Chains A and B, each alone.
Chain A
Amino acid sequence: MLEVRGLNAWYGESHVLHGIDFSVREGEVVTLLGRNGAGKTTTMKAIMGLVPRRAGSVRFRDEELVGLRSDLIARRGIAICPEERGIFASLNVTENLVLPPVIAPGGLDTDTIYTLFPNLQERASSQGTKLSGGEQQMLAIARILRTGARLLLLDEPTEGLAPVIVQQIGRTIREIKKRGFTVLLVEQNFRFAATVADRHYVVEHGRVIDMIENDQLDANMNKLHHYLGV
Chain B
Amino acid sequence: MFSIFGVPAPLLFGQLLLGLINGGFYAMLSLGLAVIFGMLNIINFAHGAMFMMGAFVAWMLLNYLGINYWFALPLAPLIVGVFGFVLEKTIISRLYKLDHLYGLLLTFGLALVLEGLFRNGYGSSGMPYQIPALLGGAVNLGFMFLPIYRGWVIVVALVVCIATWMLIEKTKLGSLLRAATENPALVQAFGVNVPRLVTLTFAGGVALAAFAGVLAAPIYSVNPNMGSNFINTVFAVVVIGGMGSIFGAIVSGFGLGVIEGLTKVFYPQASDTVIFVVMVLVLLTRPAGLFGKAA
Q: Which residues of A contact B (CB under 8 A)?
A: 48-50, 69-71, 73-75, 79-80, 82, 86, 88-91, 95, 98-101, 103, 144, 147
Contact = CB atoms under 8 A, between A and B. Distances in A.
Nearest to A148: B191
B186 A86 contact: yes
Nearest to B169: A90
Contacts of B191: 71, 74-75, 100-101, 103, 147
Given A50-B185, A90-B181, A90-B182, A71 B192 contact: yes
Contacts of A73: 189
A71 B194 contact: yes
Contacts of A89: 182
Nearest to B182: A88
| Contact size range, B | 10 to 19
A49 B189 contact: yes
A39 to B, nearest CB: 18
A99 B189 CA distance: 12
Given A98-B175, A100-B190, 15 more contacts: A69-B188, A71-B189, A71-B190, A73-B189, A74-B188, A79-B190, A80-B186, A88-B178, A88-B182, A91-B175, A95-B175, A98-B172, A99-B179, A100-B191, A101-B192
A74 B186 contact: no
B172 A80 contact: no
A74 B191 CA distance: 5
Given A70-B185, A98-B172, A90 B179 contact: yes
19 contacts: A71-B188, A71-B190, A71-B193, A74-B189, A75-B191, A79-B190, A82-B186, A88-B183, A89-B182, A90-B181, A90-B182, A91-B178, A99-B179, A99-B187, A100-B192, A101-B190, A101-B192, A103-B191, A144-B190
Given A71-B191, A71-B194, A90 B178 contact: yes
B79 interface: no
Contacts of A99: 175-176, 179, 187, 190
User: What is the interface of chain A mostly: helix, strand, loop, or mixed?
Assistant: loop
A91 B190 contact: no
Contacts of A75: 191
B178 to A, nearest CB: 4
B189 A48 contact: yes
Contacts of A90: 178-179, 181-182
Nearest to B179: A88
A86 B187 CA distance: 9
Contacts of A70: 185, 188-189
Nearest to B197: A71
The 9 A-B pairs at the shortest CB distance, nearest first, are namely A74-B191, A100-B190, A90-B178, A95-B175, A70-B189, A86-B186, A88-B179, A71-B188, A75-B191
Nearest to B187: A99
A49 B190 CA distance: 11
B182 A74 contact: no
Contacts of A82: 186
A101 B176 CA distance: 10
A150 to B, nearest CB: 13
Contacts of B183: 86, 88
Nearest to A153: B189
B176 A80 contact: no
Interface in B55-74: none
A89 B244 CA distance: 14
Contacts of B192: 71, 100-101
Most B CB contacts (10 A, CB to CB) among A71, A73, A103 go to A71
Interface string B187-221: 11111111000000000000000000000000000
Contacts of B181: 90
A53 to B, nearest CB: 14
A50 B178 contact: no
B196 to A, nearest CB: 9
Nearest to A95: B175
